[in-house]
Chain A
Amino acid sequence: MKRAAIVALAALFAVTLIVLLLDLPAPAVDLPAAVGARMADSGVAHPVTAVLLNFRGYDTLLEIGVLLLALIVVLAVAPREGVAALPRADPVLQTLARVAVPLMLLAGVYLLWAGAFRPGGAFQAGAVLAAAAVLLHLAGLAPAWNAPGKRLRVGLAAGFLVFLGVAAALLAQGTLLQFPPAWAGALILLVEAALTVSLALILAGLFLFLS
């Protein structure tokens, strides 16, 4: 009974790990304190954004690469033939879309700007904008996407290229991704703005290229 064996193993795994988790000593390194101490130099006022775009910005650079990579694979296996068909139009959904999408655009732009002071930022804004695009498609107001032309490819890659460009420029003067404290806020906003556009296009594309 292979099925029963694996379920039993998974249960044993979970129980063992929970028991081990119940008494952990206090952590030896206190990173939240370090984040709080250095946040003034990071250029933003919210700790998560500071970690994401400055202290561990290199992780963010690589993850945008992962997302672009997934999009390229989607493009490669997406159906290429035929004109993309519009889904059947439902009047209730269309009205909802017409009302919601402008509000979602507004929310997206707000989230991008708010990321410097409170929860928000490029990823959240890009996700909301992409959801608006998907909603438009599901309501029959926008077609699915065919293979991207030059302009769409530039839009998809722009955020990553801006981030890479900033990284290379900073590298030429010193350490990789070392934002000078005076310029950090402006540079982070620039990178986040470009990322929002690209992320919105990539996330929307992950859905719309496959439709």
Chain B
Amino acid sequence: MADPLPWLILLPLLWATGAFLLGPARGARLAIAGTAVQLWLAFALAAKVGAERTALHHPVGGWGAPLGIDLAADGLAALLLILTQLVALPLFVYARGYFAAAAASWFWPLAGFLLAGMNALFLSADLFNLYVTLELVGLAAVGLVAVGGQAAGGQLAAALRYLFATLVGAGFYLLGVALIYGTYGTVSIASLTPLIAADAPPVVGFAAGLMLAGLMVKTALFPFHYWLPPAHGGAPAPVSALLSALVVKASFYLILRLWLGPFAPLVQAAAWLPALLGAAAILWGSWRAIRAERLKELVAWSTVAQLGYLFLIFPLLGDDRLALHAGGMQVVSHGLAKAAMFAAVGVLIQVTGRDAVHAVAGVAVRLPVTLLAFGLAGVTLMGLPPSGGFLAKWLLIDAALARGRWDMVIVILAGGLLAAAYVFRVLRQAFLLPPSGERRRVERRPAAPLEWAAFALAAASVLVGLRGMEIVRLLGGSAS
């Protein structure tokens, strides 16, 4: 049986190059076939990790760290790998139908490099290699924002802001890696964890702060979120879905990996800071989403808010692993739900011809599947049972109560109410208000794959709540 770890990286690189060779606007079928194989590999990897109850290793080049680079996959990495391929596959089917012939441009090779970078990021156990994968993901994401559709002025400005934010974040990370190599002489995570635990001169704490700050800029944590709404709100719908569902989770995964691994002895005292910023993100992001005039802007601000939940877990991390399970559930359910929401919004914009909340008046009659997808995704974001979002918030509240953090419980519940507010804004427009008086021009009926891809993602985000036990088992430990 082939070792799935390196193939998960080589395969997307191969089909991305193939798509480039085929020429502009081609490569859709290659991408879909490749991603299907990657999804199967990711499940195989998760099964292996679950069966052996230990992390898998793959020493690239046969040398072994610290001389060579190691690939490693534990439960968290396996979960995120499954999420990545699981979200990407329906989105690629969606994108194939979404882009008009010439507008697809170089979407397929760029998406392939994005997936390859993300898989490589989840599997790497070497700090400098992680920098290269961070840049691969970041530049691919910027490229997709800029050229996924037609590069109009507003989209270019958003792409450039995103580019500078991602480059500064990666630059901070690189300086931190440089300082750590200078101190210890190695960049392998496995070698560093015992070394830092044994003896950490102050420069290592400084480096840890630099690296985590850089990654927080890339994850659009409040107040570094300024680049996200224009970029995710201005890109074509499949690109926005990939970015909101997956790309921001990659840098969050790195923060979690570093926080739980090598930097664990250094960061305990500062855990209140990301939680405070996360709470601010939930409140501010939800508020801006309620006030948004454009559909995609609304969904993008919702991403800012939902990412805040992820940062609430840091003061709650401990031996009972409740907070870790909550974070994993939130990543998975938000990823599926946000992809579904952007996909549904993309269909709405195509049909009504405009990107405005009030323009969807009365479309429920014409697009029941799409609105159902939007609604189900909203159920997850609000945290209603039995969705994955409910399970995530339940675990988070459980962890907060275990430490007496009533302030967090209030923020989590408030966030759920605010999410209901902006989700119902759109649903109310679509369902309750009669079609507006102006004569409608003939609207295009969207292709069935678009609607059903959105629906499949939304249904998955709700159903994943029913499989919560398996996710918890994969992450290690009981749900108690």
Note whether A and B contact each other (Cβ less than 8 A): yes
- Interface of chain A residues 129 through 170 with chain B (CB within 8 A): 147, 150, 153-154, 156-157, 160-161, 164, 167-168
Bound CA span A27–B179, Å: 11
Closest to B7 in A: A171
Shortest distance in angstroms between B351's beta carbon and chain A's nearest beta carbon? 27
Q: Is there an interface contact between A17 and B143, defined as CB atoms closer than 8 Å?
A: no
Q: Is there an interface contact between B67 and A55, defined as CB atoms closer than 8 Å?
A: yes
Q: Is there an interface contact between B182 and A17, defined as CB atoms closer than 8 Å?
A: no
Tell whether B17 is near chain A: CB-to-CB under 8 Å.
Answer: yes
- Interface of chain B residues 1 through 53 with chain A (CB within 8 A): 3, 6-7, 10, 13-14, 16-17, 20-21, 23-24
Shortest distance in angstroms between B115's beta carbon and chain A's nearest beta carbon? 12
Per-residue CB contact flags for chain B residues 178-206 toward chain A (1 = under 8 Å, else 0) read 01001111100001000100010111001
Tell whether A98 is near chain B: CB-to-CB under 8 Å.
Answer: no
Shortest distance in angstroms between A45's beta carbon and chain B's nearest beta carbon? 17
Closest to A160 in B: B17
Q: Is there an interface contact between A25 and B201, defined as CB atoms closer than 8 Å?
A: yes
Whether A58 contacts B61 in the complex (CB less than 8 A), given A24-B183, A75-B106, comes out as yes
- Interface of chain A residues 14 through 46 with chain B (CB within 8 A): 16-17, 20-21, 23-25, 27-31, 34-35, 38
Whether A73 contacts B69 in the complex (CB less than 8 A), given A154-B21, A178-B61, comes out as no
Q: Is there an interface contact between A72 and B109, defined as CB atoms closer than 8 Å?
A: yes
Q: Is there an interface contact between B21 and A73, defined as CB atoms closer than 8 Å?
A: no
Q: Is there an interface contact between A69 and B140, defined as CB atoms closer than 8 Å?
A: yes
Bound CA span A150–B14, Å: 17
- Interface of chain B residues 83 through 111 with chain A (CB within 8 A): 105-106, 109-110
Q: Is there an interface contact between A24 and B13, defined as CB atoms closer than 8 Å?
A: no
Chain A positions within 8 Å of B61 at CB level: 54-58, 175-179
Interface of B is mostly: helix
Tell whether B329 is near chain A: CB-to-CB under 8 Å.
Answer: no
Whether A153 contacts B20 in the complex (CB less than 8 A), given A56-B69, A66-B139, A76-B146, comes out as yes
Q: Is there an interface contact between B132 and A164, defined as CB atoms closer than 8 Å?
A: no
Q: Is there an interface contact between B23 and A153, defined as CB atoms closer than 8 Å?
A: yes
Chain A positions within 8 Å of B151 at CB level: 76-77
Closest to B144 in A: A73
Could you say which of A17, A38, A75 contacts B63, with CB atoms under 8 Å apart? A38
Shortest distance in angstroms between A155's beta carbon and chain B's nearest beta carbon? 11
Tell whether A174 is near chain B: CB-to-CB under 8 Å.
Answer: yes
Closest to B138 in A: A66
Bound CA span A68–B132, Å: 14
Q: Is there an interface contact between A164 and B14, defined as CB atoms closer than 8 Å?
A: yes
Whether A76 contacts B184 in the complex (CB less than 8 A), given A21-B203, A62-B133, comes out as no
Number of interface residues of A (CB under 8 A): 52
Chain B positions within 8 Å of A62 at CB level: 117, 120, 129, 132-133, 136
Number of interface residues of B (CB under 8 A): 57
Closest to A24 in B: B183
Shortest distance in angstroms between B113's beta carbon and chain A's nearest beta carbon? 5
Q: Is there an interface contact between B66 and A29, defined as CB atoms closer than 8 Å?
A: yes
Q: Is there an interface contact between A55 and B203, defined as CB atoms closer than 8 Å?
A: no
Q: Is there an interface contact between B113 and A69, defined as CB atoms closer than 8 Å?
A: yes
Could you say which of A65, A160, A176 contacts B6, with CB atoms under 8 Å apart? A176
Whether A25 contacts B183 in the complex (CB less than 8 A), given A157-B20, A176-B6, comes out as yes
Could you say which of B7, B66, B106, B206 contacts A17, with CB atoms under 8 Å apart? B206
Chain B positions within 8 Å of A21 at CB level: 179, 182, 203
Chain B positions within 8 Å of A77 at CB level: 146-147, 151
Q: Is there an interface contact between B67 and A34, defined as CB atoms closer than 8 Å?
A: yes
Bound CA span A23–B202, Å: 10
Q: Is there an interface contact between A73 and B110, defined as CB atoms closer than 8 Å?
A: yes
Whether A150 contacts B23 in the complex (CB less than 8 A), given A28-B184, A65-B13, A65-B116, comes out as yes
Per-residue CB contact flags for chain B residues 118-141 toward chain A (1 = under 8 Å, else 0) read 001000000011001101100110
Q: Is there an interface contact between A24 and B59, defined as CB atoms closer than 8 Å?
A: no
Bound CA span A89–B422, Å: 61
Shortest distance in angstroms between B312's beta carbon and chain A's nearest beta carbon? 27
Chain B positions within 8 Å of A68 at CB level: 17, 20, 113
Q: Is there an interface contact between B182 and A24, defined as CB atoms closer than 8 Å?
A: yes
Shortest distance in angstroms between B301's beta carbon and chain A's nearest beta carbon? 24
Closest to A25 in B: B201
Q: Is there an interface contact between A20 and B23, defined as CB atoms closer than 8 Å?
A: no
Tell whether A10 is near chain B: CB-to-CB under 8 Å.
Answer: no
Chain A positions within 8 Å of B59 at CB level: 175
Bound CA span A164–B20, Å: 15
Could you say which of B66, B136, B185 contacts A66, with CB atoms under 8 Å apart? B136
Closest to A177 in B: B61
Closest to A21 in B: B203
Could you say which of A20, A31, A177 contacts B203, with CB atoms under 8 Å apart? A20
7 A-B contacts (beta carbon < 8 Å): A65-B16, A65-B117, A68-B17, A69-B136, A153-B20, A167-B6, A176-B61
| 4 A-B pairs closest in CB distance | A27-B185, A178-B62, A76-B147, A73-B143
**Residues of B with Cβ closer than 8 Å to A?**
3, 6-7, 10, 13-14, 16-17, 20-21, 23-24, 58-63, 66-69, 71, 105-106, 109-110, 113, 116-117, 120, 128-129, 132-133, 135-136, 139-140, 142-143, 146-147, 151, 179, 182-186, 191, 195, 199, 201-203, 206
Known: A17-B206, A20-B206. 19 other contacts (CB 8 A): A21-B179, A55-B63, A57-B60, A62-B117, A63-B132, A65-B13, A66-B136, A68-B113, A69-B143, A70-B139, A70-B143, A73-B143, A75-B24, A75-B106, A76-B143, A76-B146, A153-B20, A171-B10, A177-B61
**Residues of A with Cβ closer than 8 Å to B?**
16-17, 20-21, 23-25, 27-31, 34-35, 38, 54-59, 61-63, 65-66, 68-70, 72-73, 75-77, 147, 150, 153-154, 156-157, 160-161, 164, 167-168, 171, 174-179
